[in-house]
Amino acid sequence: MLSGGGARSAFQAGVLRYISEAFPGVNFPVLTGISAGAINTAQIANHVGPLDEAAERLEDSWRDLDVEDVFEVESGLSILWSLLWNQRDKPESASVSPEAIRRQHGLLDTTPLWHFLSEKLGANEGILDGVSENLRQGRLRAAAVITTNYTTGQTVTWVQGQDFDVWERPNRISIHAELTVDHVMASTSLPLVFPAVQIGDSWYGDGGIRLSAPLAPAVHLGADRILAISNHYPRSRAEADAPSVIGYPPTAQIIGLLMNAIFADTLDQDAYTLERVNRLVNELPRHRRMGMREIQLLRLRPSVDLAQLAYEYKDQLPASVRFLTSGLGASETRSPDWMSVLLFLPDYIDRLMDIGYHDAKAQHDELEHFFSGIPTSTLSQDSTQDDDEEEIPVLEEIGEDR
């Protein structure tokens, strides 16, 4: 399960490269991605070949990426104008092309990202043909991309796979689909910043907006072990208690909190809740478990704050993006999460992939236990554990009500 975080998702590419090198032959039959994590999911699911080749191509794609490949770098005046432009003066979206829609809606035009992904994924008419081939060869069982339906408010998981039943939960549904670049674009569409994407008759945006159970899609698709790669640094209690700003919080600080609520906080809470449920299930005899089962979960997270690291590279941003981030007060907070999401710069991306590679290497033993099916005990590294609680395995129980 690959979570979101904009440019910070390059961290996941480094993790996957180490895994492919250290554990040759490892394969992930179920892949799920949210927001920018959907880009990595699409790359791995669409590559016809072993994981080491897919991971290498994924890193190459990130290395080839620059700000201009994600969105049109507009002037500061154009950005300000897009904020103030009266929506009623815009033509109806139904009468214009997708490229025109991306220019009319959202703060930034993401047409370059559509073309970049289409090229890197070798998408014929936008379709990810490699997913079908991997399903046919048995290398893949299911790939899922998670979006938010702006029309209905539902979280929609688009799944291309075999032998699974669609599910429906409060505000969460799944749909059989042939995955396309548009599904990936929709999942990565940051609220307000990037334009929504039309799929069918509805408009879709970032998959993390209302997703309360990010681990659930993988379980619905039959996973009994989940490797969740997050881009969110787990702060210590002392770090969490230290204020990020002095005085009234700037807009960038508030937006950063909203971004973390979308990309990170739900995963931590979901894992914690599932951990508790799993512990309770272990207390029940099998005939009373009502179809529930244990799910082994290993979370990998960065050893450094990727957002704070962004400060070192902010001067490399185009002037218009610096105008946008500084105008919202990004320089006034010590936790520039908002800026880091848009920091699609080669130097920053290389740094994140290197961190991901070495962080995965540092957790080699946990990964080895995970791939061998041996339960791992990583909760002691997590700030959510109470000091007076015994250390328990990070085993997440997700039952049929998931």
3-state secondary structure 325-383: HHHCCHHHCCCCHHHHHCCCCHHHHHHHHHHHHHHHHHCHHHHHHHHHCCCCCCHHHCC
Residue 265 annotated to the active site = no
Is residue 354 annotated as part of the catalytic site, yes or no?
no
Whether 205 shows a pLDDT value over 90: the answer reads yes
| pLDDT number for residue 108 | 83
Compute the Cα dihedral for 155, 189, 325, 307 and give only its sign. Answer: positive
Average pLDDT (79-86) is 55
pLDDT number for residue 62: 97
- Model pLDDT for residues 270-328, shown as the tens digit of each residue: 888 878 878 888 888 887 877 778 888 999 999 999 988 988 888 887 776 766 656 55
Kindly report, residue by residue over 362-371, the tens digit of the pLDDT: 999 999 999 9
**81 has pLDDT over 90:** no
Q: 231-254, pLDDT tens digit by residue?
A: 988 766 676 556 555 666 656 566
Residue that wins the pLDDT comparison between 144 and 240? 144
The contacts of residue 173 (CB under 8 Å, 6+ apart) are 154, 155, 156, 157, 166, 167
Residue 181 binned pLDDT confidence (cut-offs 50, 70, 90):
very high
Is the pLDDT higher at 156 or at 97?
156
Interior/surface letters 56-69, b for 16+ CB within 10 angstroms, e for the rest: bbbbebbeebebeb
Mean pLDDT of all residues belonging to the chain: 82
Segment among 157-166, 314-323, 373-382 with least mean pLDDT: 373-382
Residue 229, pLDDT score: 96
For the ranges 36-40, 262-266, 283-287, 322-326, which has the lowest average pLDDT?
322-326
pLDDT 10s digits, 349-364: 999 999 999 999 999 9
Question: Which band of pLDDT confidence, cut at 50, 70 and 90, is reported for residue 5?
Answer: confident
Domains and CATH numbers, the chain: 6-235+246-378 (3.40.1090)
Asked if residue 389 has pLDDT above 90, the reply is no
Task: Match 């979101």 to its residue by tokens.
Answer: 4
Mean of pLDDT values over 62-66: 95
Q: What's residue 153's pLDDT?
A: 92
What pLDDT sits at residue 288?
A: 82
Percent of the chain with pLDDT over 70: 73
> How many CB atoms neighbour CB 240 within 10 A?
9
* Collapsed DSSP state (helix, strand, coil) of residue 397: strand
pLDDT reading at 392 higher than 50: no
Task: Report which of residues 185 and 94 the model is more confident about.
Answer: 185
pLDDT at 96 over 90: no
Strands 225-229 and 294-300: parallel
Q: Which residues contact 98 (CB under 8 A, 6 or more apart)?
A: 114, 197, 198
Distance CA 313, CA 334 (A): 14
**Cα(107)–Cα(104) distance, integer angstroms:** 9
The CA distance from 34 to 147, in Å, is 7
- Find the catalytic residue in 109, 206, 270, 359: 206
Is the predicted pLDDT of residue 65 greater than 90, yes or no? yes
pLDDT at 380 over 50: no
Given the residues 35, 61, 244, 340, the one annotated as active site? 35
d(CA 314, CA 83): 22
Residue 176 burial (C-beta neighbours within 10 Å; 0-12, 13-18, 19+)? exposed
Q: Is the pLDDT of residue 173 over 90?
A: yes
* pLDDT of amino acid 265: 64
- By C-alpha distance, which of 216, 225, 245, 215 is closest to 333? 245
Please tell me the least confidently modeled range out of 34-48, 143-157, 219-233, 369-383.
369-383
Overall average pLDDT of the 329-358 stretch: 81
Residue the block writes with tokens 């005046």: 77
pLDDT at 375: 61
pTM of structure: 0.82
